[in-house]
Chain A
Amino acid sequence: MSHHMVEVKNLRHSYPDGTLAIQDISFRITHGESIAIIGANGAGKSTLLQHLNGALTPTAGSITIGDFPLTRDTLPAIRRTVGMVFQNPDDQLFMPTVYDDVAFGPLNLGLRGEALELAVMHSLAAVGAETLRHKPPYNLSGGEKKRVAIATVLAMSPDILVMDEPTSGLDPYARRQLMQLLGNFQHTKIFTSHDLDMVLELCPRVIVLHAGTVVADGNTRQIFADRNLLSSCRLEQPLSMQGCRFCQNTPY
């Protein structure tokens, strides 16, 4: 079954000034999977993510989303399928009120009146932000902004949810709230994150990037157990896997 599948083949991307951001990346993600792409800063995570909805065009290689290869003509359809949530919600919430922001996508898709109202309220309910509908974005807390940003994307009913650093900048409570939310989503989920504990909880599969190439792709627990691999990619084990330094117990 090819629907909602993301296939990346030999992806290569170099910036206009010549910097090679992505050397050669290939992977396949099937429907309903929950995957994290991890790596050091500058490993190519954000660049890779921006290819998934056509914001960036590959220098070489191909990307296929569902049944559509990523080309200029298929962009509108792909942007409907792939919902992208940015790292900084301020870049994503550009309308005067929460309601307007969530309604932006559906309006562009042609929804009006009842249908529009339904789509907006449904999305806000999915992230627990119904009470925020009339608020202007700058009056929201970090966690609220993150949730509303997700709602703006959900309103377009995407099949694939891509999120860049979802838990960054959140306090522990907001982080826990968001993780519960994401855990309940049935979409195909692709995250990038430095929060390896969240990755451990939410993503059974992980792809490790280093210097623009895939260094590991597989079961999260197994990869996180390999300390040498992680440190060679400038990463560490998740805190929950590192030993308790007070009682010297190492669970893994």
Chain B
Amino acid sequence: MSNITNALLDLKQLELLADGNTAIHRLHPLARTLVTFLFITMVVSFNRYELIALFPFFLFPIVMTTRSNLPCLFILKKVALFLPFVLLVGIFNPLFDRTPLLQFGSLTVSGGWISLFSIIIRSTLTVAAAMILIGTTGFSATCQALRNIGVPQIFTTQLLLLYRYLCVLAEEAGRASLARELRSCGTKGQGISSYASLIGGLLLRTWGRAERIHGAMLARGFNGEFPQGSNAGFGRADIGYCLVWSALFILFRLQNIPLLLGNLVTGLFA
């Protein structure tokens, strides 16, 4: 039950964050979405053994977090939450890949460990990017951006309605689940049959709610199509944002900046 309340709190916090008014928030949601997708694509396009070359990409989440006033801890918490799932697959890499790849004196590091760390870095970067995107873009703004790029209206409407009623239903489910828990005296009675009737009841009430919402829609003139608001276009700031970050990502992808830097520095001392 507590994970429902936590989930709801997270949702509300994200929505509050997205309500901010920094320069990042004022960018067109499509610009932010495109840059995020490019970021993620570049990060995952690396070879599995790349580790150091991924580091420059940290610039993006760091700059975005500080410029848009997003709380670092919140993002890091989400990254940490997601890590176990990635590790579930990644942990096999050191097991299966024993090819020695690096050597520090007598210490040999196998490819498996390198790729495991690479996976962890990728996960951190991609989850952070996704969180930053949603933390600076409200959900309805995201759906509007999706409409702009041609996503079918019925799907964006579906996303909006789902999001709208998520909290309502999660609270209802939470109350029902709590009621069951309080009368379960431990884990007895939480088997499949009580679950099925709990869920079945929730489903019936949900169906009834849908009928009432439909009535409300019809009462306000609904005729099958959801009416559209106005669409804002791309501004100079949006274009600049896209170009600068795209150029940086491509640069980071093609050049191993850390290695160059490192050689520069060690060359000074050689």
Direct contact of A and B (CB under 8 A): yes
> Is residue B186 contacting chain A, with contact meaning CB distance below 8 A?
no
Judged by a CB distance under 8 angstroms, whether A229 is at the interface is no
CB A130 to nearest CB in B, in angstroms, measures 17
Interface residue stretch chosen among A30-38, A92-100, A188-196, A216-224: A92-100
Give the complex CA separation of A103 and B140 in angstroms: 15
Task: Tell which of A84, A137, A156 touches B164, judged by Cβ atoms closer than 8 Å.
Answer: A137
Question: Could you tell me which residues of chain A, from 66 to 96, have a CB within 8 Å of some CB in chain B?
Answer: 76, 79-80, 83-84, 86, 88, 90-96
| Contact A53/B219 with A100-B140, A100-B229, A104-B227 known, Cβ cut-off 8 Å | yes
Could you say which of B138, B213, B221, B229 contacts A105, with CB atoms under 8 Å apart? B221
**CA–CA, A136 to B220, complex, Å?**
19
| A94 partner, pick from B12, B138, B161, B230, beta carbons under 8 A | B161
Q: B217 to A94, Cβ gap below 8 A?
A: yes
- B108 to A: closest C-beta gap in Å: 55
Query: Is A152 part of the contact surface with B, judged by Cβ < 8 Å?
Result: yes
Total contacting residues, chain A, CB less than 8 A: 34
Which residues of the partner chain A approach B120 to less than 8 Å between Cβ atoms? none
List the B side residues contacting A79 at CB < 8 Å: 218-221
Q: Contact at A105–B160, with CB atoms within 8 Å?
A: no
Q: A217 to chain B: closest CB distance in Å?
A: 26
In the assembled complex, A131 has its CB within 8 A of some CB on chain B:
no
Return the contact of B222 from the options A83, A96, A108, A134 (Cβ within 8 A). A108
| CA A11 to CA B232, docked complex, whole Å | 51
Q: List chain A residues, Cβ under 8 A from B212.
A: 86, 88, 91
How would residues 205 to 234 of chain B score, 1 for a CB under 8 Å from any chain A CB and 0 otherwise?
000010011011111111100010110000
Q: Which residues of B contact A134 (CB under 8 A)?
A: 19
Residue B139 is within 8 A (CB to CB) of chain A in the complex = yes
Q: Is B50 an interface residue (CB 8 A)?
A: no
Q: Mark A95-125, 1 if CB is under 8 A from B, else 0.
A: 1110010011101110001000000000000
Whole-angstrom distance between the Cβ of A26 and the nearest chain B Cβ: 24
Instruction: Check: A27 CB closer than 8 A to any chain B CB.
Output: no
- B220, A152: Cβ atoms under 8 Å? yes
* Bound Cα distance A80, B222 (Å): 11
Q: Are B220 and A138 in contact (CB under 8 A)?
A: no
* Cross-chain contact of A139 among B12, B161, B215, B221 (Cβ < 8 A): B12
Please report the C-alpha to C-alpha distance between residue A109 and residue B19 in the assembled complex, in whole angstroms: 30
The reply on B250 being an interface residue by CB < 8 A is: no
- Please give the distance in Å from B113's CB to the nearest CB on chain A: 46
Q: Which residues of B contact A92 (CB under 8 A)?
A: 213, 216
Contact A84 B209 (CB under 8 A): no
A84 lies within 8 A of B223 (CB): no
Residues of A within 8 A of B163 (CB): 96
A153: Cβ under 8 A from any B Cβ: yes
Tell me if A94 and B221 are in contact (CB < 8 A): no
Selected from B15, B19, B213, B220, the residue in CB contact (under 8 A) with A91 is: B213
Q: Pick from A90, A105, A113: contact of B220, CB below 8 A.
A: A105
Minimum CB–CB distance for B238 against chain A, Å = 22
7 additional A-B residue pairs with CB within 8 Å, beyond A108-B222, A108-B223:
A91-B213, A92-B213, A96-B140, A96-B163, A109-B221, A137-B164, A152-B220
Q: Which residues of B does A touch, CB under 8 Å?
A: 12, 15, 19, 138-140, 143, 160-161, 163-165, 167-168, 209, 212-213, 215-223, 227, 229-230
Give 4 nearest A-B pairs by CB, closest first: A108-B221, A107-B227, A96-B140, A105-B220
